[in-house]
Amino acid sequence: MKGRNFLRVCSIILIVAGIFMLAAGGLGFRKVLDAKGVKTAEKEEALANIQLLEDGIGTLEENRKAYEDGKVAYENGTQAYEAGKSKLTSGQAQYNAGQATLSSAKQQYNEGLAKYNAGVSEYEAGLALYNQKYQEYLEGKAKYDAGVQAYEQGKATLEAATPKYQMGKAILGSSIVQNAIALGQAGGLIPAEIQAKIDEAYAGIAQYEAGQQQLAAAETQLAEGKATLADAEVQLADAKARLGAAEAQLTNGKATLSDAKSQISAGESKLNSAAGQLSNGYASLSDAEGKLAAGKEKLKTFEDGEAKVAAGIETLRENERVAELIDDGVDPIVAGRTAVEEATQATAEELMGRLYCYIIAMVAGLLAIITGIIGSAAAKMPSVGKIKGSIVMGLLTLLAAIAANVYHLILLNKYTINMVTYEQFNTGLQTAAIAVLGVCAIAFVFAIFRFKNSLVALLTGE
């Protein structure tokens, strides 16, 4: 009979399409449940992050006054630290300058001390030489005085013998006496006693004249010695004056050195005191630096928290709805929660829509199986009841399939953008099953009406 085989094939295909639709619908149910779980987890995570952000903001606000006070204290401490550091640097420079001045003063003192010691040595050597020369002068003067005394004594003795010498020389010096003595000596007429006296007289004259010569020579030597002593006296007086001046200079130098030593000692004491103050200053500066570092670390902790909160808000703003609400003046936390609730509501609407679509599609699939079974029976053994049942069921299946396709297309058009990023919302299998079911339902309706028309024509003989 015309159209029987086509109806049988369409019935079988419709049954397969119905089974496929039931399977795809079941998988769709599972995907909806999976998507619900994912969305629920995302909501909980988002709300937890928002709560964490809110807690962070609350903590920051609780600590903000302490932060502001700490910031002011840190700035004041920094200024005080810098001022102290500058003062300490200035003090160190002054200390170094004082140390350099003290070192220079010590060097000058040591040089002066060396010169003083050299001057003392030179003075002592000059004094020793002066004493030696003075001793020699005294010895020379003593010899001179003794020579003067001897000269005076010799002169007195010679002067006392002068009359006798003059008389004897006058007697013995006359030519008559000399001739008489010569004749007497020649004739042996002069007695020995007289001859002895004559010889003694001549010896006395010779001795007197020799004494005159010695006295004249001694007088010359005494004159030279006197001149030498006078010159030595002048030199000794000059040397004594120089020694006196040198001694005065040494005394002044010693006083100057003593004063310089006292000043150096006072300078060292001041430097030692300054060194102690500098040491205390450096210790205080180091302690202040440590406190500033600790304060800065506390400020940094707050600022890091503030940065994290700002980063969290920026992360919230990545959601267009949150950014829109924040730009409208809504608090970021409220905006985040509002966006989460809106997204949750939209997701719930979408998931429920898909559930309704899959229910309609699965009902259509179930109708398709029943329709296919009836259609197969009608094709195998036609009857009015089977054909009417096939037509009714076929139309119902077609209507259900059309409703499922239309509803599914509406959902795809409405929620495509929201679904793209979620694997759980991949509905390709369900889309294909619904579309195939619709095509198979159309084919079955066409086949059943064709088979009915062929059967009617056969029965009426047309």
Are 32 and 127 contained in the same domain?
no
Q: Examine the domain organization and report whether 145 and 274 are in the same domain.
A: yes
Q: Tell me: do 108 and 216 sit in the same domain.
A: yes
Residue 322 falls within a domain, yes or no? Answer: no
Cβ atoms of residues 402 and 364 within 8 Å = no
Q: Which two tokens stand for residue 143?
A: 């010899």
Are 274 and 95 contacting, i.e. CB atoms less than 8 angstroms apart?
yes
* φ, ψ for residue 116, nearest 5 deg: -65, -45
Q: Buried (b) or exposed (e) across 418-439, using 16+ Cβ within 10 A?
A: ebeeeebbebeebbebbbbbbe
Q: Residues with Cβ < 8 Å from 18, sequence gap 6 or more?
A: 364, 365, 366, 367, 368, 369, 371, 372, 437
Q: Which residue among 223, 257, 286 closes a domain?
A: 286
Query: The domain spanning residue 252 has which CATH number?
Result: 1.10.287
> Is residue 90 situated within a structural domain?
no
**In-domain check, residue 272:** yes
Parent domain of 60: 4-70+331-460
Residues 6 or more apart whose Cβ sits within 8 Å of residue 215: 151, 154, 155, 158
What letter does residue 190 receive in the DSSP assignment?
S
Tell which of 260, 286, 312 closes a domain.
286
With contact defined as beta carbons under 8 Å apart, do 271 and 99 qualify?
yes
Q: Which tokens is 53 given?
A: 């952000």
Q: What is the DSSP string of 314-362?
A: HHHHTSHHHHHHHHTT--HHHHHHHHHHHHHHHHHHHHHHHHHHHHHHH
User: pLDDT tens, position by position, for the chain (462 residues)?
Assistant: 567 889 899 999 999 999 999 999 999 888 888 888 888 888 888 788 888 877 878 877 887 887 788 788 878 878 887 887 888 888 788 888 878 887 887 888 788 888 888 878 887 887 787 788 778 778 877 787 777 777 777 777 767 767 666 666 666 666 665 666 666 667 666 777 776 776 676 666 666 666 667 777 767 777 777 777 778 778 877 877 887 887 788 788 788 878 878 888 887 888 888 778 878 877 877 887 787 778 778 778 877 877 888 887 888 788 888 888 889 988 888 888 888 888 888 888 888 888 898 999 999 999 999 999 999 999 888 888 899 999 999 999 999 999 999 988 888 777 654 443 444 455 678 889 999 999 999 999 999 999 888 877 777 765
Q: Show the CA angle centred on residue 81, arms to residues 77 and 87, nearest 5°.
A: 145
Residues 422 and 349 in one domain: yes
Question: How distant, in Å, are the alpha carbons of 143, 150, 159, 163, 209 from that of 218?
Answer: 12, 9, 15, 22, 14
Q: 0.75 cut: is pTM over it?
A: no
Q: Where is the domain boundary, 286, 301, 319?
A: 286
Token readout for 247 is 């001694």
Half-sphere exposure at residue 25, Cβ-oriented, CA atoms within 13 angstroms: 25
Residues 254 and 352 in one domain: no
267 with 341, same domain: the answer is no
User: Residue 350: inside a domain, yes or no?
Assistant: yes
Answer whether 430's CB lies under 8 Å from 27's CB. yes
Q: Using CB atoms within 10 Å of the CB of residue 146, give its burial: 0 to 12 exposed, 13 to 18 middle, 19+ buried.
A: exposed
Do 443 and 10 contact (CB within 8 A), yes or no?
Answer: yes
Judge whether 74 and 292 are in contact, CB under 8 Å: yes
**What is the number of domains present in the chain?**
2
Verify that 220 and 280 share a domain, yes or no: yes
**Among candidates 174, 181, 179, which has minimal Cα distance to 195?**
181
* CA 189/CA 187 separation, integer angstroms: 5
Environment class of residue 362 by beta-carbon count within 10 Å: exposed (0-12), middle (13-18) or buried (19+)?
A: buried
